[in-house]
Structure 1
Amino acid sequence: MADDLGYADLSCFGRRDYETPVLDRLAAQGTRFTHAYANSPVCSPTRVGLITGRYQYRLPVGLVEPLSNNPGVGMPADHPTMPSLLRSLGYHTTLIGKWHLGELPNHGPLKSGYDEFWGIRQGGVDYFTHKIYGEEDLWDGDTLIEETGYLTELLANKAVETLEERSRDKRPWLMSFHLTAPHWPWEGPNDRDTAQRLEAKGDGLAILDYDGGTLATYAEMVTYMDAQIGRILEKLTELGMDQDTVVVFTSDNGGERFSDTWPFTGKKTELLEGGIRVPTIVRWPGLSMPGTVSETPVMSMDWMPTFLAAAGGAPHPKFPSDGVDIRAAVAGRSVAERPLFWKYKNQGQQAMRLGKWKYLQIAGNSFLFDVVADPLERGNLKDREPQIFAQLSEAWQRWNATMLAYPADSNSAGASGRFTADRYGVGT
């Protein structure tokens, strides 16, 4: 899982100013999903959906972003998760990279089903100092550690090492490889001087989403991420594990300021397509067909029930999954149409997709879009199709009544909160 990667930030999804040959090759070997969605337009809530297989709005941790402003909130240790349920089926489970679902002592990967953890606990760190606002945030399990190097490479090093360990073990395994790239600060692999200069000034994590950076730096971050993923895939092949390992690549939400989200409007923190549509690739030996494209809408929370079904398990009966088993879509077969729902406190955002139709409310304005024919979400059809608009908006209200409400004092503005209705030229 990449962090803040836009829909068209891979060349196989349309990026024009650089190439991502490793992930392009992965797409050529498997299925590329062009209607894949993140559970949220921001980080932690999507990670809640991924790890629980449920809408994140069922848990308090899924309603706050950033978590750094809510230190007591996190993933409950007793809640069933993808790693804990797979571990009960005999799998060894590892998280390498970003956690961002709550802090010690009450929350952490080792408390939520992972046998091993190596990475960061917060939302983002400097790629060289591995600090956030002056505090170290690189961990081996529950032990704070110091390492020298560019974080994207260090995470890949650990993934390669972990694969070698798994190759000597008879147990099946799950590796969650959650990169911080290309999340800010905008630092490429050759920008150590920038990190050192900021550290010397005492600025800590000073290059925020709206500070510094260039398109060239962003390209370096994404292409270096692509190359490090290549090292992991090469190790799978070298160890003879590539033909019985499922590989899924996706992002936690839509892109940031340097991202390409064409043909969509919107960015991270927004329920426009550019804030929630994410590049997704699946190579599943014996199931996916090389070079196929699926237009089936899928969501982050679908991976848990899919993996559990493949492993011969099922979600915990007291915590039924909101996601579905999407192996049929991976194989290129049809999947029953179903509604997908979102909400986000910033600007009172609401969204629902059913088939080609999307209901959206944002900044006090409501819309009905045909997102297949109009992916830019420019033509508001709510007056032309009042019955469909009413059907979807009422369905959203019924769904929302089953979810937790946002706490009045929660900070859910995410990275920016930049939306205005006239920014996109859309009418009421």
Structure 2
Amino acid sequence: MLRVLPFASMLLLLFAAPLLASDKPNVIFILADDQGSVDAGCYGSKDLHTPHMDSLAVHGVRMTQFYSAAPVCSPSRAGALTGRWPVRAGVPNNCSSKQGGGSALPSDEITMAEMFKAAGYTTAHIGKWHIGYTPDTMPLAQGFDYSIGHMGGCIDNYSHFFYWNGPNRHDLWRNGKEVYEDGRYFPQLMADEAGEFIEKYHDQPFFIYYAMNTPHYPYQGEAKWLEHFQDVKYPRNLYAAFIASQDERIGQLLAKLDKLDLRKNTIIIYQSDNGYSTEERAHFGGGKSGPYRGAKFSMFEGGIRLPGIISWPGHLPEGEVRDQMAHACDWMPTLAELTGVKLPETHLDGRSMVEMLNNAGAQSPHFNHPLHWQVGTGKNAAWAVRAGDWKLIANTRDTNENAGNAAFKLFLANITEDPGETTNLADQHPDIVARLTKLHDEEITP
């Protein structure tokens, strides 16, 4: 009998491990591309159709001082996926949209996918990548079991070609191999792929990085939505139609979870990677920053202060709002705490938001931990620091479409008193400028 007990105990442990893994919640990280600060109904928009995005706020926590990791695509994604300031994670600029070339997220950086895979999750990348275009920096080498999408910065949603830095080239890949889906609307392809993945792995924990190519240019909303918004002023009409097409696919994703009775066992996070674009290829606008100054590429609030929502019905508060500061780098430690998985053994700049999410009166995880941003390297790099109410910006531009691309060497604002950053207080408070500059110099290595 004594000899049988150790054997029985060993069997119990062997069978208990997968049971414990199967009890872990699924995670879906939805990342929008160039969606403006207020461009959803739950953020105050009255002229957009976003019922499914809004439903995440109804069944979750919506943050009003949520910041992306950067005002431009690749650094923003690197920060969100690693929990580290992008410049520390090795991605200070946009990565190449050409196969085999350019900078990338270093292969030794540990991604959210690697964290979940180590905990027994099946992992999928669906959509945009834009942080590596070589075999050792594409999704399968960064912790993903499955990948479908484009490796560069954007594609035409029907031909799946990259047309913005010649020669024109096809960019659609499944598990590291080029595939062709001529004419298939990319937002629908993403929704279909996600649905199939969820169907296949619904009985075990999964992590999906659902990185949309919307509403990034080219604005390619469907005909029914273009007709719906035909009376809206250009270029808002094009942007609105694309947002509605995006929202419809989010609805399909949520419907799949509901069909399989997975909503209460699935954590969904939603954010935009940076502010809306005012580039010529984006018709010089279409999105909105609301009361905030700046847009994509800018360190002003409109470039980095964006929609941020987390939903886990039955486990996190529902229909609540948090005004405390939070940051995309916070997702990794937050999700690790919520799911009970082990954090990677590396320096993280993010802080868990769990206490703040559960308690409206809790302090921001960055109450005593300043926020940092930097794009580029060297003395002309654009950077910003936010410590408490004060935010200092260096070497940035106001990229709102009516701002004339005005440049600023230093700009200091009290965000609580002046969230629109209308008045530069740098000359009035040289002591605060010096203090925040020192924080930047000590934290960020050029």
TM-score, normalising length from structure 1? 0.84
Helix, strand or coil at the partner of 2:87: helix
Distance in 1 separating the partners of 2:342 and 2:295: 34
Distance in 1 separating the partners of 2:38 and 2:78: 24
Shift of the alpha carbon at 1:310?
A: 2.4
Give the corresponding residue for 1:381. 425
Shift of the alpha carbon at 1:189?
A: 2.0
Match of 1:222 among 243, 257, 261: 243
Mapping of 1:323-402 within 5 angstroms? 323-333=350-360, 334-335=362-363, 336=365, 337=367, 338-345=369-376, 348-362=381-395, 363-400=407-444
Helix, strand or coil at the partner of 1:34: strand
Give the corresponding residue for 1:299. 327
Post-superposition CA distance 1:146-173 (Å, at most 9, x none) = 2232111111111111111122x3x211
Helix, strand or coil at the partner of 1:63: coil
Distance in 2 separating the partners of 1:240 and 1:68: 38
Distance in 2 separating the partners of 1:135 and 1:67: 13
Q: Which amino acid aligns with 1:163?
A: I
**CA contact under 8 A between 1:49 and 1:301: conserved in structure 2?**
yes
Shift of the alpha carbon at 1:364?
A: 4.9
**CA contact under 8 A between 2:43 and 2:307: conserved in structure 1?**
yes
Shift of the alpha carbon at 1:2?
A: 0.4
Helix, strand or coil at the partner of 1:260: coil
Shift of the alpha carbon at 1:308?
A: 1.9
Shift of the alpha carbon at 1:67?
A: 2.0
Give the corresponding residue for 1:161. 196
Match of 1:253 among 254, 274, 277: 274
Distance in 2 separating the partners of 1:95 and 1:354: 34
Post-superposition CA distance 1:218-241 (Å, at most 9, x none) = 111001111110111111111010
Residues 104/382 of structure 1: CA separation in 2 closer, same or farther (3 Å cut): closer
Distance in 2 separating the partners of 1:294 and 1:11: 17
TM-score, normalising length from structure 2? 0.80
**CA contact under 8 A between 1:33 and 1:295: conserved in structure 2?**
yes
Give the corresponding residue for 1:322. 349
Distance in 1 separating the partners of 2:324 and 2:269: 16
Mapping of 1:194-213 within 5 angstroms? none
Q: Which amino acid aligns with 2:375?
A: Y
Distance in 2 separating the partners of 1:16 and 1:241: 31
Match of 1:142 among 176, 192, 195: 176
Helix, strand or coil at the partner of 1:303: helix
Q: How many residues align?
A: 377
Work out whether 1:115 is the aligned partner of 2:145.
yes
Shift of the alpha carbon at 1:350?
A: 2.0
**CA contact under 8 A between 2:34 and 2:276: conserved in structure 1?**
yes
Helix, strand or coil at the partner of 1:58: coil
**CA contact under 8 A between 1:315 and 1:321: conserved in structure 2?**
no
The structure with more strand, counted as a fraction of residues: 2
Shift of the alpha carbon at 1:285?
A: 2.8
Post-superposition CA distance 1:41-98 (Å, at most 9, x none) = 10001111111111111243x1232523791422233332111111111111111101
Distance in 1 separating the partners of 2:122 and 2:107: 18
Q: Which amino acid aligns with 1:142?
A: G
- Say what the alpha-carbon RMSD is for the aligned residues: 1.9
Residues 384/72 of structure 1: CA separation in 2 closer, same or farther (3 Å cut): closer
Give the corresponding residue for 1:100. 130
Residues 73/345 of structure 1: CA separation in 2 closer, same or farther (3 Å cut): closer
Shift of the alpha carbon at 1:178?
A: 0.5
**CA contact under 8 A between 2:220 and 2:238: conserved in structure 1?**
yes
Residues 105/219 of structure 1: CA separation in 2 closer, same or farther (3 Å cut): same
Distance in 1 separating the partners of 2:307 and 2:83: 19
**CA contact under 8 A between 2:97 and 2:133: conserved in structure 1?**
no
**CA contact under 8 A between 2:57 and 2:310: conserved in structure 1?**
yes
Q: Which amino acid aligns with 1:283?
A: S
Distance in 1 separating the partners of 2:106 and 2:426: 40
Q: Which amino acid aligns with 2:96?
A: L
- Structure number with greater Rg is 2
